[in-house]
Amino acid sequence: GAVVSQHPSWVICKSGTSVKIECRSLDFQATTMFWYRQFPKQSLMLMATSNEGSKATYEQGVEKDKFLINHASLTLSTLTVTSAHPEDSSFYICSARGRGHSYNEQFFGPGTRLTVL
């Protein structure tokens, strides 16, 4: 149990376009989902926290208008990178915590590697 999927696993796009990444909890209800970005050989940096049915809470320095997060249901959250630029190229990982599991335990998706040309 506790499987989180992400789609797509990788994406290459042109500068200025928007990219949507989906994060799904497959076998549990995710009351909270987290979005991280990770640069090569670096740690996970939390971008935002989203609770089902409410607006996402963004970390300091993360532009909410650029990284749109929607947590429409207990099994789906989406991150849209709007007007992507090369500096947005990174590994984006979602995680989820939810019912039936330890409060603090997060289950990570496989990540989405975004390359902006």
Torsion of Cα atoms, 11 then 15 then 16 then 19, to 10°: 10
Nearer CB in complex with another protein: 61/86: 61
Q: Which CB atom, from 9 or from 83, has the smaller least distance to another protein? A: 9
Instruction: Give me the least distance between CB of 102 and another protein, in Å please.
Output: 7
Say how far apart CA 53 and CA 86 lie, in whole Å: 31
Residue 117 burial (C-beta neighbours within 10 Å; 0-12, 13-18, 19+): exposed
Footprint on this chain of another protein (rule: CB under 8 A): 32, 34, 41-44, 46, 49, 51, 57, 93, 95, 97, 102-111
Shortest Å distance, C-beta 57 to another protein? 7
- CB of residue 46 vs another protein: minimum separation in angstroms? 6
